[in-house]
Amino acid sequence: MVSLAVQTRKPERYEEILGAAAECFCQQGFAATSIDAVARYLGSTKGRIYHYFPSKMDLFNAVRDRGMELSFESIRPGYEAEASAVDRLALMAHGQCYAMMEHIAYMQVLLDGLRQRRYGATTEFQRKAMQRHLEQRDDFEARYIEVLKAAVAEGALRIGEMRLVSRSFLAAVNAPVFWFVPREDDDPEKLGRFADEITQFAMQGLGVDWTSERMQAMHKLKEGAYV
């Protein structure tokens, strides 16, 4: 955990470090990324980073937590929408898939964070942070499972083992984290089409006949949700 005092004193400087760390961590992973490398990326030196973050692990945790926040934000419109469970699910998938590409660096760090589960003890404080993060992951998956169950209750789809299906679903939605590379000509429309295609695959995977009409209805719902 980072001292909130330091974090809010100069928010933009803090954010700059966080972004640079995300960029570095996502390329080489936590272990292979040195604090000096992050500092070089910033055109600075270690001193600056250690002024905001007490340790490398804390820096990583901050990046990871930010990634989690972005993830939750991405599914919120769908999760909170007042619509059928199937439409909510699709909107969640679409939002998360889009965020996967928009915030690719943070999402790749989030992926790397999975490994640290067995990273041994470190401090008691660190262990708490890890446990908190694991709970967040569970909460995240629980939201999908909640809406999935609602969809089943609505008779919109039939599912075998819930855990297996939800994880297959999430894997498909998360997939861009592996292959997406940002380009100059990335525009929201293009990313949107990517997300559309993947959402369709995921929804069909559930056994839903995801027609283009339903896709359009989902997009309408999305516009409405943001108002």
- Listed ranges 25-33, 52-60, 86-94, 219-227: which one lies at the site for a copy of itself (CB under 8 A): 25-33
Q: Shortest Cβ distance from residue 51 to DNA (Å)?
A: 4
34 is an interface residue for DNA by CB under 7 A? yes
Task: Assess contact for 79 and 143: CB atoms under 8 A.
Answer: yes
Q: Report if residue 142 touches a copy of itself, rule: CB under 8 A.
A: no
How far is 147 from 216, CA to CA, in rounded Å?
Answer: 20
Among left, alpha and beta (phi > 0; psi -120 to 50; other), residue 120 is left
Least distance in angstroms from the C-beta of 145 to DNA: 36
204: which 2 tokens?
A: 């069909």
Is residue 133 within 8 Å of 68, Cβ to Cβ? yes
**Binding residue for DNA, selected from 2, 29, 55, 214, defined by CB under 7 A:** 55
Of residues 126, 147, 200, 222, which one binds a copy of itself by CB under 8 A? 200
Name every residue whose Cβ is closer than 8 Å to that of residue 169 and which is 6 or more positions away in sequence.
Answer: 93, 144, 148, 202, 205, 206
State which H helix or E strand residue 193 sits in. helix 188-205
Q: Which of 81, 104, 198, 225 binds a copy of itself (CB under 8 A)?
A: 198
Specify the DSSP element, H or E, that contains 105: helix 104-113
Work out whether 2 is an interface residue with DNA (CB under 7 A). no
Residue 50 CA to residue 154 CA, distance in Å, equals 52
Choice from 20, 22, 56, 196 touching DNA (CB under 7 A): 56
Q: Provide the binding-site residues for DNA, judged by CB under 7 A.
A: 6, 9-10, 13, 33-37, 39, 43-48, 50-51, 54-57
Q: Provide the binding-site residues for a copy of itself, judged by CB under 8 A.
A: 27-32, 112, 114-115, 118-119, 160-161, 164-165, 167-172, 174-175, 178-179, 194, 197-198, 200-202, 204-207
